[in-house]
Amino acid sequence: MPEVWDSLLRDLPTEDVPVDLTARVRAHLASARRREARMRIAVWTGMLALGVVSGAVLWPALVSLLESLVRGFPQTAAPAVAGLWQAPGTTLWELAQSILGWGGQVSLGLGASGMIALMFLAVLAILGLTWTLGGRTEEASA
């Protein structure tokens, strides 16, 4: 490329930079940061409220879950685990069956309200994950 073109194009005149542009950009950013902070507070407040509500719903189910675990494990899975320790090859299938049975007991122990609360928490987790990934995608595409 000829130097004269390069030199001409490097120093093309432009309008003066508006004197208040930097101040306006800063004000715009400050406003965006306030919005961002308000949004963050709203999201955390919402999550906290949902956590409290779901905790209240889940509490009885959590208690029964713990009971199931404590009572069910020694009755069903524990002998199989002990058997596995003694003769690994023969009791592997037995162990799987026991754990399945134990899982069944746990789900029965949770009851309907517990299962609903668990599903509710799963939805919350998916929403949280989507929100996080969405924020990262927005950052990447900027």
Partner 1 sequence: MYPEEPELLRLAQAGVPEAFDRLVERLTPGLYRMIRRMMPDRAEAEAVVQETWLRAWKARRGLEPSRPAFPWLARIAANAARDYWRKRRPIDFADVESQADDLADVAAGPELRLEMDEARRRMAALVENLRPEWRMILALRYDGNLSYKEIADALSVPLNTVRTHLRRALLALRSALEADDA
CB of 125 to partner 1, least distance (A): 24
> What are the angstrom distances between the C-alpha of 136 and each of 76, 90, 131, 141, 142?
45, 49, 9, 9, 10
> Is the separation of the CB atoms in 77 and 95 below 8 Å?
yes
Piece of 3-11, 44-52, 95-103, 122-130 that binds partner 1 (CB under 8 A): 3-11
Piece of 18-26, 54-62, 65-73, 94-102 that binds partner 1 (CB under 8 A): 18-26
132-141 CB burial, b ≥16 within 10 A, e <16: eeeeeeeeee
Q: Is the Cβ of residue 85 or residue 139 nearer to partner 1 in the bound state?
A: 139
CB of 131 to partner 1, least distance (A): 14
CB of 11 to partner 1, least distance (A): 6
Task: Rule CB under 8 A: say whether 28 interacts with partner 1.
Answer: yes
Q: Which two tokens stand for residue 104?
A: 């069944």
Contacts of 72 (CB under 8 A, 6+ apart): 102, 105, 106, 109
Q: Interface residues with partner 1 (CB under 8 A)?
A: 1-2, 4-5, 7-15, 17-18, 21-22, 24-26, 28-30, 32-33, 138-140, 142
